[in-house]
Amino acid sequence: MSVVPDTTTKVTFTDNNTKFNQSGVQYIINPYDELSLTRALEITEAQGGSVTAIHVGLADSEASIRKALAIGAQEAVRINAEPKDAYFVAEQIAAYAQGQGFDLILTGRESIDYNGGLVGGILAEMLGIPYINVVTKIDVNNGVVEAIRDIDGGRETVKAALPCAASAQKDLTEPRIPNMRGIMAARTKPLQVVEPSANNAGSTYAQYELPPAKGAVKLIDPNNAGELMSILHNEAKVI
Partner 1 sequence: MPYFPNPEEQLHRSAKQDLFQGTDFYAIDDLLTEEHILIRNTVRDWVKRDVSPIIEDACQRNIFPRHIIKGMADVGAFGPQLPAEYGCGGLDYISYGLIMQEIERGDSGMRSTASVQGSLVMYPIYKFGSEEQRNKYLPKLASGEYMGCFGLTEPDHGSNPAGMVTNFKDMGDHYLLNGAKMWISNAPFADVAVVWAKDENGIVRGLIVERGMEGFSTPETHNKWSLRASATGELVFDNVKVPKENLLPNVQGLKGPLTCLNSARYGISWGVIGAAMDCYESAVRYSKEREQFGRPIGGFQLQQKKLAEMLTEITKAQLLCWRLGVLMNEGKATPAQISLAKRNNVDMALNIAREARQIHGGMGITGEYSMMRHMANLESVITYEGTHDIHLLILGMEITGENAFA
Binding site residues, partner 1, CB under 8 A: 8, 62-63, 66-67, 70, 177-181, 183-184, 187
Tell me the closest approach of the beta carbon of residue 183 to partner 1, in angstroms: 6
CB of residue 104 to partner 1, shortest distance in Å: 26
Other beta carbons less than 10 A from residue 150's beta carbon: 15
CB of 5 to partner 1, least distance (A): 13
List 165's β-bridge partners, or say none: 105, 131
14 contacts: CB under 8 Å, gap ≥ 6: 20, 21
Contact by Cβ (8 Å): 60, 93: no
C-beta of 78: minimal distance to partner 1 in Å? Answer: 14
- Our CB check for partner 1 shows the closer of 29 and 123 to be 29
Q: Cα angle vertex 189, ends 186, 190, to 5°?
A: 140
Nearer to partner 1, 10 or 237 (CB): 10
Tell me the residue type at 149: R
Rounded to a whole number of angstroms, the minimum distance from the CB of residue 226 to partner 1 is 32
Strand 104-108 to 75-79 pairing: unpaired
Q: In terms of CB distance, is 68 or 129 closer to partner 1?
A: 68
Q: How far apart are CA 80 and CA 144, in angstroms?
A: 33
Smaller CB separation from partner 1, 66 or 149: 66
Q: Which is nearer to partner 1, 11 or 225 (CB)?
A: 11
Pairing of the two strands 27-29 and 164-168:
unpaired
Q: What angle do CA 167, 2, 117 make, to 5 degrees?
A: 40
